[in-house]
């Protein structure tokens, strides 16, 4: 199985901060990587697919980059509605696997 490792596991940031979350795959996955935002009690929301493509309706403050084994999600200017847990997921091979999540909290 492909292991996905996110860092950090949690972070504290202020409104307006630029935030970067990294995701590393245990083997190459090309660009078969997605990023999701999840808030408690809500449906997960897809942000990025194919490593860097923005899902429709997702604000451009979210961006993704990377290929192979190393990926990043960047939020250019953190807003109150962005405080949530973020997950990466590979869909290159089965079983699809998620990172452990990065909880973004208010400083």
Partner 1 sequence: EVQLVESGGALVQPGGSLRLSCAASRFTFSTYWMSWVRQAPGKGLEWVANIKQDGSEKYYLDSVKGRFTISRDNAKNSLYLQMNSLRAEDTAVYYCARGIDSDCWGQGTLVTVSS
> How many other C-beta atoms are found inside a 10 Å radius of the C-beta of residue 8?
12
Q: Is 31 in the site for partner 1 (CB under 8 A)?
A: no
Among 17, 50, 65, 72, binds partner 1 (CB under 8 A): 50
Q: Is 101 in the site for partner 1 (CB under 8 A)?
A: yes
Q: Is 44 in the site for partner 1 (CB under 8 A)?
A: yes
DSSP characters over 14-71: -TT--EEEEEEESS--TT-EEEEEE-TTS--EEEEETTTEEPTT--TTEEEEEETTEE
Q: Is 97 in the site for partner 1 (CB under 8 A)?
A: yes
In the complex, the residues that contact partner 1 under the rule CB under 8 A are: 34, 36, 38, 42-46, 49-50, 55, 85, 87, 89, 91, 94-101
């Amino acid at each position: 199985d492909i292991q996905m490792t996110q860092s950090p596991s949690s972070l504290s940031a202020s409104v307006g901060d630029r935030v970067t979350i990294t995701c590393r795959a245990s083997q190459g996955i090309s660009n078969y990587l997605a990023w999701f935002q999840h808030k408690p009690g809500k449906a997960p929301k897809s942000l990025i697919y194919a490593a860097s493509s923005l899902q429709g309706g997702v604000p451009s403050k979210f961006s993704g980059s990377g290929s192979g084994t190393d990926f990043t999600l960047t939020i250019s200017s953190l807003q109150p509605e962005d405080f949530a847990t973020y997950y990466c997921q590979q869909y290159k091979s089965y079983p699809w696997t998620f990172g452990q999540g990065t909880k973004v909290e208010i400083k």
